[in-house]
A and B are shown apart, each in its own frame.
Chain A
């Protein structure tokens, strides 16, 4: 069986890395199709082959032979949700230190840390997020000894996929109150720790040794940290900086002129609307929850649900994400948060997003921020990450019904779904629930 698969794959000239199921040709027929490249198309046909979106056919076209037909009439068909920043795959139970890899405060390493080595495709959150339409995720750790959280990954949530889309995809820094606390107590300490890391990397890159020059022991990075940061200076990795206060955002934007070529991305930016023109002028994108409208810290007194809308109106590229591993804000709920951005636009005096903008903020925009031009859209050649929804995907009454990742239809099952079935009202049996699987 396996031999014949290999042979046929070879004869077909296919890369062996494409799983067998991805070779299936699928036609999703009759749904309202959101492409993220133009307005939604009603009753269109989405063709997938080789794990990719092949093309869209106009309504009532004939479906070519050899495609499995999937009926999506009265449904919505969209690119899968891309979690803009999350801890999927590294955070089984937030409250149990042994059961998550989001924090490494006792390690001497910081920027060199990489979630890639910790990723667990069997993390319950992978399937739990997938059945609700999340098909890929940006994954970042949450803390370390320094302002540098380390390197994050971009993962597919496909069942049975064990390698990330990008293992060492970005570097993640925390500035503001939290960064200050880690660096010694003040923002000026955090700024020195942040820039010292980049300076050490620059010296290392220039052949000056880096990390070994004469300086205070406490400021010295490990050689591994400095090496990791050269990836940022060489524009291989974007530098994500978590920052909220308007004045802190202005300070962080200075990094762009200090380090030419730096691919700066702001995270959270809860007061971004106060400096939206400057963020837009620096062409720096933002990843934020979008839902924080309370002055939870003094660095976010200006937090408002209009933040995202105002930044986008000023020309800032904004994706939604869930930067904290958290019971209340979860990646699978990103469509709800996007829906709230639409709701905000409908209130007098408030600013939100159009539906198209809001959906893009949880699919195409996060992909764009990381240069993944084949993710978050249904255009020829894009990854076959497609979700069929019972209705408007941003609406609370809608559920994901079928999920394809890389062209492969995914199991609509998770540990939580199994619990829900075990205890479904009216289900009884001779034996107690422990025997129901």
Chain B
């Protein structure tokens, strides 16, 4: 969004806002080939292999467990890549023991809205791979095919404690394509980072961006009316395609395959949308065609319809305080996250930004403070759900990550202070039980190929 100010990047940056998720964990059906013999979701699926780790206990720490709980003077044990125990009286047998000295432990932060890899740094023209701006309906494209694993932004996000991120296509298009959930590990390919078992998503967008991009070309959509009309026609086409699947003479249509995945509930809709009235329109459309919006992203006016979205079970992924950079963000308030939470909604702190993803703990803390100023009482550990279990739910991975519970993946951050303080930073980060970042050890900090040999290489950035 911020790159709206740079003319050469207007297209890329002005369009970054995206959205969509679900509020409940989604059971992912086994991937079945559609009309080809080999499933594309297998071919382009995960080749991720966790790095080796050792049984580890971090003791003498305060823990925000990610699902709203807090343990004081507790410990967490993980081994075999999984959380083994949390609380008081955790066994230290056979484990490397780290004395936290009263510091804090949380699950790794999950960012539901990132463009790392498909709008990487440096932001040169050749790197603008987030929007297939050749037509407003492009559900056939996949973000994973454009993620450059050498984006230096991944390493910065890791230094900020982000262990899982969802990379989405941009918001130039009504149907932007498939998003992908990554583990924030160094990989030779994007597939080396893909989180096994995480559902794909469909990025959709309403509002200013699609109508501006195509309207300025004298194409449909050129208005919010056009946005909805093109989306509805496309869903009608998808229903017809689904009904005709397998019948003789029907050719595969890759765009329709993604949409059928949504209609079947296998692919989660992440819907970029700012304004309250437009979000309600989108929900109405989803009912017309029988699919579910999992989350609205940006959702700058979610606070105006918090009761409605909570009742519909739709999450809202929000910034703490972005405001005023475009007309549909003009009513942005600093209390959006806490108000939505207070209404019983599934509130998520998201970044949509290579800088913001480094500080989602701080963004959460600011929103919490602004809510308290307006009289909304939310506990610190409760607010951590905004970067913990809530984004995990909205990505359909709440059975795997998002909280520190026995059996879950050991994505763990040891902070050098209270993570809701501006003065705190991650000290150590583990992903699937492997130590992948350590402030005390430069050899435990990844450097992207791009930065190797450049000024400040290996610097603690």
Give the number of residues in A that approach B within 8 Å (Cβ atoms): 61
- List residues of chain A with CB within 8 A of the CB of B421: 395-397
Partner of B322, one of A296, A328, A394, A396: A328
Contact A420 B374 (CB under 8 A): yes
CB closest residue in chain A, given B356: A328
Contact B376 A425 (CB under 8 A): yes
Q: A399 within 8 Å of B by Cβ? A: yes
CA distance A228 to B265 in the complex (A): 64
CA distance A295 to B356 in the complex (A): 15
CA distance A306 to B159 in the complex (A): 14
Would you give the shortest CB distance from B161 to chain A, in whole angstroms? 13
- List residues of chain A with CB within 8 A of the CB of B362: 336, 340, 396
Contact B323 A416 (CB under 8 A): yes
CA distance A93 to B325 in the complex (A): 5
Contact A324 B2 (CB under 8 A): yes
Within 8 A of B (CB), among A392-431: 394-399, 416, 419-421, 423-425
Within 8 A of B (CB), among A258-298: 271, 274, 291-298
Contact segment of A31-39, A70-78, A343-351: A343-351
- List residues of chain B with CB within 8 A of the CB of A125: 324
- List residues of chain B with CB within 8 A of the CB of A328: 1-2, 319, 322, 353, 355-356
- List residues of chain A with CB within 8 A of the CB of B324: 92-94, 124-125, 128, 327
Would you give the shortest CB distance from A357 to chain B, in whole angstroms? 14
Within 8 A of B (CB), among A298-353: 298, 301-306, 324-330, 332-333, 336, 339-340, 342-343, 346-350
Partner of A396, one of B122, B303, B369: B369
Contact A397 B460 (CB under 8 A): no
Contact A304 B327 (CB under 8 A): no
Q: A181 within 8 Å of B by Cβ? A: yes
Given A301-B454, A306-B460, also A94-B123 (CB < 8 A): no
Contact B442 A349 (CB under 8 A): yes
Count chain A CB atoms within 10 A of each CB in B5, B331, B421 and give the residue with the most.
B5
- List residues of chain B with CB within 8 A of the CB of A304: 456, 459-461
Contact B2 A296 (CB under 8 A): no
Partner of B152, one of A291, A294, A332, A420: A294
Q: A142 within 8 Å of B by Cβ? A: yes
- List residues of chain A with CB within 8 A of the CB of B30: none
Contact digits for A43-71, partner B, Cβ 8 Å, 1 yes 0 no: 00000000000000000000000000000
Partner of B373, one of A342, A343, A399: A399
CA distance A181 to B14 in the complex (A): 20
Would you give the shortest CB distance from B419 to chain A, in whole angstroms? 10
Q: B354 within 8 Å of A by Cβ? A: yes
CA distance A181 to B125 in the complex (A): 14
Q: B178 within 8 Å of A by Cβ? A: no
| Majority SS at the chain B contact face | loop
- List residues of chain A with CB within 8 A of the CB of B375: 424
Contact B420 A396 (CB under 8 A): yes
Q: A95 within 8 Å of B by Cβ? A: yes
Q: A96 within 8 Å of B by Cβ? A: yes
Given A298-B122, A421-B374, also A96-B326 (CB < 8 A): yes
Given A328-B322, A328-B353, A420-B333, also A399-B369 (CB < 8 A): yes
Contact A302 B354 (CB under 8 A): no
Given A92-B324, A291-B355, A327-B324, also A349-B460 (CB < 8 A): yes
Given A94-B325, A96-B326, also A423-B339 (CB < 8 A): yes
CA distance A304 to B353 in the complex (A): 17
Which size bracket describes the interface of B in this complex?
A: 35 or more
Q: A90 within 8 Å of B by Cβ? A: no
Q: B168 within 8 Å of A by Cβ? A: no
Given A181-B8, A348-B440, A419-B331, also A95-B459 (CB < 8 A): no
- List residues of chain A with CB within 8 A of the CB of B411: none
Contact A271 B2 (CB under 8 A): no
- List residues of chain B with CB within 8 A of the CB of A342: 422-423
CB closest residue in chain B, given A418: B333
Partner of B5, one of A324, A332, A350, A420: A324
Q: A204 within 8 Å of B by Cβ? A: no
Contact B335 A420 (CB under 8 A): yes
Given A305-B461, A425-B343, also A297-B122 (CB < 8 A): yes
Within 8 A of A (CB), among B411-426: 416, 420-425
CB closest residue in chain A, given B427: A347
Q: A137 within 8 Å of B by Cβ? A: no
Within 8 A of A (CB), among B1-54: 1-2, 4-6, 8, 14
Known: A303-B461, A343-B422. 17 other contacts (CB 8 A): A94-B5, A96-B327, A302-B456, A304-B461, A327-B326, A328-B2, A328-B355, A332-B321, A336-B366, A340-B359, A342-B422, A347-B416, A347-B439, A349-B442, A399-B373, A420-B335, A425-B339
Chain A residues at the B interface, C-beta cutoff of 8 Å = 92-96, 124-125, 128, 142, 178, 181, 246, 271, 274, 291-298, 301-306, 324-330, 332-333, 336, 339-340, 342-343, 346-350, 394-399, 416, 419-421, 423-425, 433
Q: Closest 4 interchain pairs by CB?
A: A339-B422, A302-B455, A95-B326, A327-B325
Can you report 6 A-B residue pairs in the complex whose CB atoms are below 8 A from each other? A94-B4, A128-B323, A333-B366, A347-B416, A416-B333, A419-B333
